[in-house]
Structure 1
Amino acid sequence: MAEDPLNNLDRRILHLLQVDARGATDTNIASETDVTGTTVHNRIEQLEEEGIILGYNPEINYERAGYPMRVLFICSTELSERSEMAQKALEVRGVVNVREMLAGEENLHVEVVAESTSDVKESTQQLDELGLRTITSNILAEEHVQPWNHFHQEMAGEPDSLPDDDSTEG
């Protein structure tokens, strides 16, 4: 089994970023983790460089933004073409999320937002033209997201020794 790439400080930082990435400053996170702001800054940079933090995305209420239709298409494609088809699906008008499933017939889940049913039909046609076979589609009512509990649970455990890496430029 591979060595855990995260220590408890990293987990704490990730949890706090998941709770409020926009409002989380190095200073705020430092006060929650008992290290300096410079240490937090350096750790976040390291997590970004290692590809653990991929980006910071706003959570959007599409309905309030004028796009009340949210549809989840469960699609099928050849497993050998799944990643390529996922990238192509992202180019379809209205697609905001594509999830690749590890195996099985229902191996691409495509989320579309739209103003109207005619826009959904256009997205459906474009997905079909890509060669994706739609198995089912569902109108999404609500989505509930939370920070991954594992990061939070680790915070309650015994802390790792947390070296203060203020000496690292950052």
Structure 2
Amino acid sequence: MQIDARGASDTNIAEETDVTGTTIHNRIEQLEEKGIITGYNPEIDYEQAGYPMQVLFICSTDLSRRSEMAEKALEVRGVVNVREMLSGEENLHIEVVAESTSEIEESTDQLDELGLRIVSSNILAEEHIQPWNHFHQEFAGEDADAPEEIGSSEE
């Protein structure tokens, strides 16, 4: 599922894991109910979609208001990602996509109006994402015969 959530059917996963499709379906449902699987999001090539400008704003806000400000930042035009940092001065990282520099300026003004202090901004050239393969035995190099427990804290 981490490699291709859209193309991973219960049947395909069952064939790879030697478990029934019903068991796979029930396990996925349990993971969703427990909040372990929180969604299925597409990877978007923003440049291909007509948004060639991608900017990462490093912002600062009071730690006590960080989550509130993150939610508000999501409402700003062009914001596609907000990361809350655990501590420190630069505690909100906000990714904005736009068609032009004037739209980036508009987003900058809106972030400023929220009361965020923009410490720095960087134009993103490329982003490389991969799933964390710990859950997939073949990629993690674990023994394929070892039982896998979801939510186990043993390492």
TM-score, structure 2 length as denominator?
0.90
2:54 maps to what in 1? Answer: 70
Structure 1 Cα separation of the partners of residues 140 and 24 of structure 2? 17
Structure 1 gaps of 5+ residues are 1-16, 163-170
Q: Counterpart of 2:3 in 1: which secondary structure?
A: helix
1:113 is matched with 97
1:159 match = 146
1:120 counterpart letter in structure 2: I
Structure number having the greater helix percentage: 1
Aligned mate of 2:106, from 122, 125, 133 = 122
- TM-score of the superposition, structure 1-length normalised? 0.83
Runs of 4+ in 1 over 6 A off after TM superposition: none
Note the alpha carbon deviations across 1:25-76, whole angstroms, 9 max, x for none.
0000011111000000000000000000000011000000000000000000
C-alpha distance in 1 between matches for 2:73 and 2:67: 10
Q: Secondary structure at the match of 2:95?
A: strand
Q: Does 1:19 align with 2:7?
A: no
2:8 maps to amino acid: A
Q: State which drifts further: 151-160 or 63-72.
A: 151-160
Per-residue CA shift, 1:95-129, capped at 9, x if unaligned? 00000000000000000000000000000000000
| Structure-2 separation of matches of 1:149 and 1:138 | 29
RMSD: 1.4
CA 143–159 in structure 1, closer or farther in 2 if over 3 Å, else same: same
Aligned to 2:153: none
In the TM superposition, 1:32-111 aligns within 5 A as 32-111=16-95
2:128 matched to 1:144? yes
Residue among 116, 138, 143 paired with 1:132: 116
What is the total number of aligned residue pairs between the two structures?
Answer: 146
